[in-house]
Amino acid sequence: MEKNKILLDGELQRVKHDPLENVNIARSIERPTAKDYIDMIFDHFIELHGDRAYGDDASTIGGIAMLNDMPVTVIGQQKGRDLDENLKRNFAMPYPEGYRKALRLMKQAEKFNRPIICFVDTPGAYCGLGAEERGQGHAIATNLFEISELKVPVISVVIGEGGSGGALALSVGDQMWMMEYAIYSILSPEGFASILWKDSSKVKEAADLMKLTSFDLFNLGIADKIIPEPTGGISMKGPYQDCMQYLKDLLVGEIRSLKAMPIKGLLKKRYQKYRNIGI
Amino acid sequence: MFKFFGKQKKFSASQFKQKEVPEKLYNKCESCSEMIYYQDLDQNKHVCPKCGHHFSLKAYKRIELTVDLGTFREFNKLMKTKNVLDFPGYMDKLDKASKQSGLKEAVITGYGDIQGKRCVICVMDSNFMMGSMGSVVGEKITRAIEKSMKHRLPLVIYCASGGARMQEGIVSLMQMAKVSAALKKHSEMGLLYICVLTHPTTGGVTASFAMLGDIILAEPGALIGFAGPRVIKQTIRQELPEGFQSAEFLQDHGFVDKVVNRNDMRKTLYRILKIHGGE
Ligand SMILES: [Zn+2]
């Protein structure tokens, strides 16, 4: 835990990752998925399906569970472990109904006064005919709009890829944490390179410029915490339990302190967090 | 009631005209190739008299066509961005965009009256770096929303944007959250927000304030979508159907209240404002 202390004290410059290497680790198939975190951290998880309007988007999972003695709502963007599962999960690229399901579960959480924990892991919201026809922009916008005033604590943890608006729609709560090797960016480095230099192979140059590592996001004041991982990245094939236990302890502590805040103060602080980003 | 105007200088309409290259005597319609005498085009609010194609409008021209003569009072006219990510060449690019467009940024904001109905109005201009949303665009629109809350005025936003500004990376993405949260407060106060979607409205603007109006209007033929057509074509590897992502397509799919010809827009805005009361 010596490394944790260094990270949490904010002396982040001492641990620097190569951005491109970091991107590859964030996308690794062996990284724990949302479901892996849910199984390890929560008890009695019951998955709840559907947006009540169009369908059930398998790229986004959600449900109710216990975090120690606290009832919570959990939502996650779910990658697959193999090609078959990834096809089913649409590589964790949500359709509008994924965001609408997430919002439905969040509103339900608000009704029953349950804190909300989101696990963010998506290359981006899906771009395609159906996504446009069913209002991808509208679905994301509505989440940003509604989450800003949800009357329960909301914590998001970016566990792998935080891709653009597709990640933002689940990460605008009270706290945004990042796993040490997670990334968060306006666009994939490939997309970025293709827009700026019309050459999607310049991934390394793009990654170097984009400021997408957890350390960058922390230094920009956007990520509130970095969760230390084993060197080289957390993996389901390596020791992951300590890291997840550490995350669980942090979640328990943070939710307790957010729950203790008067709701007006909580919402004001949530608003100010985003109000202060930029000029 | 409107004593807050006292401190500000009065401008005549001609003073807020954008510095621009002299208009050509004839303009060719992009849609039907008709050569149109400039004065005819100008008189028809830059709508092709032959085929109804809506030409792109500069922001100050849009203001001139929308608000009552001499009533526009601009906010934060000189606000300029910082190079938040130290992106190489960004400042030069901004200078160039500024010279080309006669604007300091991709949105102008201010008070204006529409047939005597006072409102706060924001107009984006796609001539400035594709109307992309960086920290200044996010901040100017947020401040405009705050002004409209402070004085309990309706808000009108004309959208025109290629999406988030790549050079400001993640900070640009966060503007979506900032503006959406401000709009939520605005809405909770019972205030009216009308957005008008013009060509093109895509990306981060679509996934935030463009889809959050109480009433969403659009100009005929405007391209409106989350992902741009090029990105979708690349993803699905097939041609897009005729009319996909047009204003009319969005109205058919339930995401736009009404497609309104530019020549009827001012009257339509006035009627909506009148129905919602106020002075
Ligand atoms: Zn024409």
> Using one digit for the tens of pLDDT, what is the confidence trace for A46-70?
999 999 999 999 999 999 999 999 9
B89 within domain boundaries? yes
A·B CB contacts under 8 A = 159
Question: In the predicted model, is pLDDT for residue A4 greater than 80?
Answer: no
> CB atoms < 10 A from the CB of B43, how many?
11
Beta-bridge partners for B114:
B117
> Ligand 1 mean position to B50 CA, how many Å?
5
Helix, strand or coil, per DSSP, at residue A120: strand
Rounded mean pLDDT, B166-176:
96
**Cβ within 8 Å, pair B170-A165:** no
pLDDT score for B3: 39
Q: Are A127 and B235 in contact (CB under 8 A)?
A: yes
Considering the four listed CATH numbers 3.40.50.720, 3.90.226.10, 3.30.1130.10, 3.30.300.280, the one that applies to the domain covering A42-271 is 3.90.226.10
- In this predicted complex, what is the ipTM? 0.94
Which residues of chain A make contact with B172, given a CB cutoff of 8 A?
186
Q: Are A155 and A219 in contact (CB under 8 A)?
A: no
Per residue in B15-66, pLDDT (tens digit) is: 455 555 557 789 999 999 999 999 999 999 999 999 999 999 999 999 999 9
Element (H, E) at B65: helix B59-66
Which positions ≥6 away from B101 have C-beta within 8 Å? B18, B58, B125, B127, B128
> Ligand 1 mean position to B221 CA, how many Å?
12
Q: How far apart are CA B45 and CA B33, in angstroms?
A: 18
Domain that holds residue B72: 56-275
CATH for B181: 3.90.226.10
Q: Which of B79, B134, B231 sits opposite A127 (nearest CB)?
A: B231
Q: Are A152 and A110 in contact (CB under 8 A)?
A: yes
Question: Which residue of chain B comes nearest to A194, CA vs CA?
Answer: B231
Question: In the predicted model, is pLDDT for residue A128 greater than 80?
Answer: yes
Our CA-based measurement puts residue B18 at a distance from the nearest CA of chain A, in whole angstroms, of: 25
pLDDT score for A15: 66
Rounded mean pLDDT, A117-142:
97
SS (H, E, C) B79-117: CCCCCCCCCCCHHHHHHHHHHHHCCCCCEEEEEEEECCE
Which residues of chain B make contact with A134, given a CB cutoff of 8 A?
253
Q: What is the mean pLDDT of chain A?
A: 93
Burial class (CB in 10 A: 0-12, 13-18, 19+), B230: exposed
Question: In the predicted model, is pLDDT for residue B279 greater than 60?
Answer: no
Our CA-based measurement puts residue A249 at a distance from the nearest CA of chain B, in whole angstroms, of: 28
Choose among A155, A154, A209: nearest CA to A186. A209
Q: How far apart are CA B107 and CA B120, in angstroms?
A: 13
Residue B2 tokens, joined: 């409107």
B121 within domain boundaries? yes
pLDDT-based confidence at B82, cuts 50/70/90? confident
Which positions ≥6 away from B45 have C-beta within 8 Å? B65, B262, B263
Q: Got the DSSP string for A146-215?
A: HHTT-SS-EEEEEEEEEEHHHHHTT--SSEEEEETT-EEESS-HHHHHHHHHS-TT-HHHHHHHH--BHH
Which residues of chain B make contact with A217, given a CB cutoff of 8 A?
170
Residue B177 tokens, joined: 């959250």
**Phi and psi based region of residue B237 (left: phi greater than 0; alpha: psi -120 to 50; beta: remaining):** left
> CA angle, B93 as apex, B87 and B95 as ends, to 5°?
120
Which residues of chain B make contact with A209, given a CB cutoff of 8 A?
85, 87-88
**Cβ within 8 Å, pair B181-A275:** yes
Q: Please give the model's pTM, rounded to 2 decimal places.
A: 0.93
Q: How far apart are CA A264 and CA A254, in angstroms?
A: 17
**Cβ within 8 Å, pair B170-A149:** no
> Ligand 1 mean position to B248 CA, how many Å?
18
**Cβ within 8 Å, pair B82-A279:** yes
Question: Which residue of chain A comes nearest to B173, CA vs CA?
Answer: A186
What are the backbone dihedrals phi and psi of residue B58, each rounded to the nearest 5 degrees, phi first? -75, 155
Q: How far apart are CA B66 and CA B114, in angstroms?
A: 7
Cis preceding linkage at B200, omega within 30: yes
Beta-bridge partners for B70:
none
**Cβ within 8 Å, pair A196-B227:** no
B12 within domain boundaries? no
Rounded mean pLDDT, A243-261:
97
Q: Are A56 and A47 in contact (CB under 8 A)?
A: no
pLDDT score for A51: 97
What are the backbone dihedrals phi and psi of residue B111, each rounded to the nearest 5 degrees, phi first? -85, 150
Per residue in B90-110, pLDDT (tens digit) is: 999 999 999 999 999 999 999
Question: In the predicted model, is pLDDT for residue A24 greater than 50?
Answer: yes
Which of B159, B174, B233 to mutate: most A Cβ within 10 Å? Answer: B174
Number of domains chain B is built from:
1
What are the backbone dihedrals phi and psi of residue A76, each rounded to the nearest 5 degrees, phi first? -150, 150
Rounded mean pLDDT, A253-268:
97
Q: How far apart are CA A175 and CA A196, in angstroms?
A: 31
